[in-house]
Amino acid sequence: MQQTAVVGKTMAPAEWLALALLGLIWGGSFFFVAVALEELPPLSIVWLRVGLAALALWLYCRLAGIRIPAGRSAVTAFAVMGLLNNAIPFSLIVWGQTQIAGGLASILNATTPMFTVIVAHFAGGDERLTGGKLAGIFLGLAGVAAMFLPAIDSVSTEFSSPRQLPAQLAILGAAFSYGLAAVFGRRFARLGVPPVATATGQLIASSLMLAPVFVIVDRPWHMALPGVETSLSVLGLALACTAFAYVLYFRILARAGATNLSLVTFLVPVSAILLGAIFLAEELAPRHYAGMALIFAGLAVLDGRLAAALPLSPRRSSRD
């Protein structure tokens, strides 16, 4: 998602409620993954997530009369978007959660806007790096670094285990892939593809790309049928956290704008941590909370509205 340094549109109470709901839903995705991993391998979870979500959104488009383009340029764009926005990050996040808690994964995933700013700068266009954006990026990177430091507390030696480093890097790789997708996805507006059709097209593409990998690696015919909790978690992940979340995402985007929508980044880790603590007894060390605070500070600087609201802000002074 794109970060800007201007004050966004004023949101009505209903839009704030929708934004909070979206943050809760996306935070819940880390919880659902943690539950599903008890019985299913990572690739199975990812393929079921995108496949069921693609089917649900395709039915939604049919009922709403939304056409999904099938031209060569659109199909190619769907394939690239499906790879960058679904197949790669979903796989990395789910695999990462085999080694680390969902709350920690959600914190690391909150670096996505920082990667987006960096990618957008080097991709050209009007999203250039500024002093404020650089400050936000450095704050965010300091937060990530704080979580990689050896544990200085006695909560659990698990948090300082070297085996978690690849998993943490995988989550950061997913955030970087989301950053690439955010920049690449801007071309769909130029192609005239409706947002929900874009979401549906990319999910169909990622489902088709992941299908042969899923069949070869997981060999589903040898797998036992999952239990009720796992099945419900997969359905929640696909229908709520992917299909419905996309529809809600684009509705907020249309009514409140991208800048307001970016605030959801602050809410996802909070809901993921609360759900993991309440239902899965997950714990985070103090350094992880310190890292989350630094990342949130970086996001606030990148967003720009906190500084713009200060009494001595140049933007505020120019309006007074």
Q: pLDDT digits over 83-132, tens only?
A: 999 999 999 999 999 999 888 898 888 888 788 878 888 876 666 777 77
Residue 319 belongs to a domain: no
Residue 3 belongs to a domain: no
**pLDDT value of residue 159:** 44
**pLDDT value of residue 203:** 96
Residue 266 belongs to a domain: yes
Confidence at 171, pLDDT banded by 50, 70, 90? very high
Cβ burial 115-141 (10 Å sphere, 16+ → b, else e): bbbbbbbeeeeebeeeeebeebbebbe
The residue range of the domain holding 281 is 13-313
Integer angstrom CA distances of residue 312 from 3, 6, 284, 305, 307: 22, 15, 37, 13, 9
As a whole number, mean pLDDT of residues 51-67 equals 95
**pLDDT value of residue 96:** 95
Please give the Cα distance from 256 to 278 (Å, whole number).
32
pLDDT at 158 over 50: no
Please give the Cα distance from 225 to 63 (Å, whole number).
32
Residue 220 belongs to a domain: yes
Residue 176 belongs to a domain: yes
pLDDT at 315 over 60: no
Percent of the chain with pLDDT over 70: 82
Number of domains present in the structure of the chain: 1
What pTM does this model have? Answer: 0.81
pLDDT at 314 over 80: no
